[in-house]
Every structure is written in structure tokens, then in C-alpha cells.
Amino acid sequence: MRDPEHSNIASALGVAFIAALLLACRPAVAHIVDGSATGGFVGGFAHPLFGLDHVVAMVAVGLWGAFLGPPAIWLLPITFPMVMAIGGAIAILGVPVPGVEIGIALSAIVLGGMIALAASPPLVIAALIVGAFAIFHGHAHGAELPPGTDAVAFSVGFVLATGLLHLAGVALGLLTRWPAGRTGVRVAGIGIALVGAVFLSKAI
């Protein structure tokens, strides 16, 4: 059995090491960098953070996962980025997906609604719902990949920011351990659904 304190220190060092590696990332010399703020890792990291519709939906994925408990708490944040990347790839390859903006707005409404109603569908259904909406989010991001940007650094930043938004949602969702927190999270679900409704009215 390992010493828990030693294990915690080692884990913290491990996380710090990986974070340092990711932060040390710089664009490969062979790539073209446009030199603007949207280029490379910083541009990719900032990209998901500048769209309220994206932000609330990402947080909602984590919140809903936390609400559903294990294994959804980790399965949904694992499913979303991978399916989102497929959606992004579809956009990059020039394949159109109809109603992307409507799909993104609907994702906030549906996911927010699920949280507000404390809905607990089977895990497969929850993963399918999240995965379906991930296609729309990924397509929107992929279509907006700035030309000339270092694609690797941009994608790493973009996926990292999305994942951290999920984790923020999971962290907030842990409040559901307490009755008052559970109510608060459900109210947050209503707020997310309302934001989605506003974006849906603009998209239609």
C-alpha cells in the first residue's frame, strides 16, 4: 500500500509536469503561423470561451454528468470531445451539416432542461444525446479554424479549453451532494436552457 501523502505529492507533481509540457508547447517551425491573436495555442484555447452558447453547453455537459453520477460523470466528458472532433473534422473536410447554430442552441436548451428536470435517462441515451450535440459544436469550431494557423497547437488549445469547461461543470455539479446545492444546480439548468432559448430565437 502506498503512502497517501506521497501519492498525492507525486500526483500533484505529475499534473504540474503535464501542465508545464502543455504550456511549453510552441508552434512547429515548419508550420505557417499568421501571427495574429487567433493563431496557435492561445487562439485555440480562447476560441470556445468567446461564445456564450458554447460555454453554457460545455458546462451543462459536466453539470449533467455530475448530476447523473458515476459512470456518467466521466463518460460524458470523455464522449463529448471525441465526437466533437469528428464534427470538427467533417467541417474541415468541407462536408456541410444543416442547422448548426440551431443545433448548438438546442443543445443548451435540452441539456439545461435535463439538469433542471433532474432527468436520469439510461447512460446510453445520455451519451447519445451529448454525442449528437457534440457534432454541431465540433462542426462550428472546425468551420471557424482560421486559415494559416498552426493546426496542432490550435486544436490542442481548443480541446483543452472545452475539456476544462466540462470539468468546471463537473466541479459545480458536485454541489448536488447537498440538498441546497442540488436545487442550485437545477436552477443553473434553467438558466442554461434560457440562454439556449435566446440563441435559438436568434438562429431561427
Partner 1 sequence: MSGLLQAFVDGLINPFTTPAHLLTLLALALIMASQPQRLAVLFVFALALAAGFLAIVLAVETTPARTVLLAVAAALGAMVAAAWAPKLLAVLFAAIAGAALALDSPPQAVTLAEAYATLVGTAIGACVMLIAVATIPGYANAEWQRLGERILGSWIAASAILVLAVQLR
Decide if residue 74 touches partner 1 (CB under 8 A): yes
Find the part of the chain contacting partner 1 (CB under 8 A) among 51-59, 109-117, 145-153, 187-195: 145-153
175 within 8 A of 181, measured Cβ to Cβ: yes
Site string for partner 1, 93-112 (x = CB under 8 A): xx------------------
Which residue has cell 456564450? 52
Residue with smaller CB distance to partner 1, 65 or 103: 65
Write down the least CB distance from residue 93 to partner 1, Å: 6
Give the residue, chosen from 160, 172, 175, 197, that forms a contact with partner 1 under the rule CB under 8 A.
160
Residue with smaller CB distance to partner 1, 18 or 125: 18
137 within 8 A of 87, measured Cβ to Cβ: yes
Write down the least CB distance from residue 98 to partner 1, Å: 19
